[in-house]
Amino acid sequence: MERIFYVNGEFVPADQAVVSAEDRGFNFGDGVYEVVHWYNYRPFLLEEHVERLIHSAQVIRIDLPWSKEELTEIALETAKRNNLKDDYIYMQISRGRAIRQHSFPKNVQPTLVMNPQPAAKPPEEVRQKGARVISIPDIRWLHCDIKALSALANILAKQQAKDHNVDDVLYDRAGVGVVEGGSSNIFYYKDGTLYTPPLSPYIFPGITRAKVIEIAGELDIPLGEKVFSLKEVLEADEVMLVSTGYEVLSVTEVNGLKIGNGVPGEIAKKLQDRYTEHVRKACYV
């Protein structure tokens, strides 16, 4: 089945889903995006993702002509036209088409694209054995709390992981500590408490991060939000990365060193199992 995109008011086949060479998303990465997972033909946490998309657009001062309800309806219609079952929709907004200049153009219509994609899940072997990651210096900008289109630093980081034959990276920011994974939030478990960095400009306010915090409360797992070092990560009983694609993924090796006993731990399993229950209640009932 050919994928059907939504582009600026029209539903078109993938090979016709184009934007102008003058679009500021193309020229500057001047825009924001979200990715929503569809399970069993239903979206999971769509409302939260749409709200965050609108917030990100507001932060970078894009005046949206679409309401929350309109963006939601367009996403649902895109999913319907693509018969999405276990797939993603990338919702992308740029400032729009304008003559190339760095300052904001006037009277420009933002560009909206809904891009259906197969769900990119970790291989089952990684899920069963745990992910292997490396730490790298965090060279990203100081607004990692915005899901911006300009993701070149993330691309370079993901390629670095591939070059080293590992599954992902951990960003280690000078003067701060370990902040997150290549495209995910990080948690670690030590001596009965689950830890994650507090929200700040250095980390992305993940929808899955918030859901895992909620689930930890349901399971009576003590939670602490604090900045932490790579040394603390290496000394953890368990480490896990969480995201729309990963859900809850155990990390069993960092920089070639085993985490805990080198296999996925019970806390990660409990969190993943409860996360799966939330998905089932939302999308399978």
CA-based nearest residue to 174, from 142, 130, 147: 142
Give one word for 61, left, alpha or beta, with left for phi > 0 and alpha for psi -120 to 50: left
Active-site residue flag, 147: yes
Helix, strand or coil for residue 195? strand
Which residue in this structure is represented by tokens 């399971």? 219
List Cα–Cα distances, 245 to 35, 44, 110, 182, 222, in angstroms.
9, 12, 27, 12, 25
Q: Which of 68, 80, 85, 147 is catalytic?
A: 147
Burial class (CB in 10 A: 0-12, 13-18, 19+), 230: middle
Residue 85, strand partner residues: none
Q: Record the tokens describing residue 110, joined without a space.
A: 């933002």
Q: Which residues contact 190 (CB under 8 A, 6 or more apart)?
A: 232, 235, 236, 237
Nearest-angstrom CA–CA distance, 277 and 256: 33
Nearest-angstrom CA–CA distance, 265 and 128: 11
Q: Taking a C-beta distance cutoff of 8 angstroms, is the pair 12, 219 a contact?
A: no
Instruction: Give first-to-last CA distance, the chain, whole Å.
Output: 27
Helix, strand or coil for residue 123? coil
- Which residues are marked as active site? 147
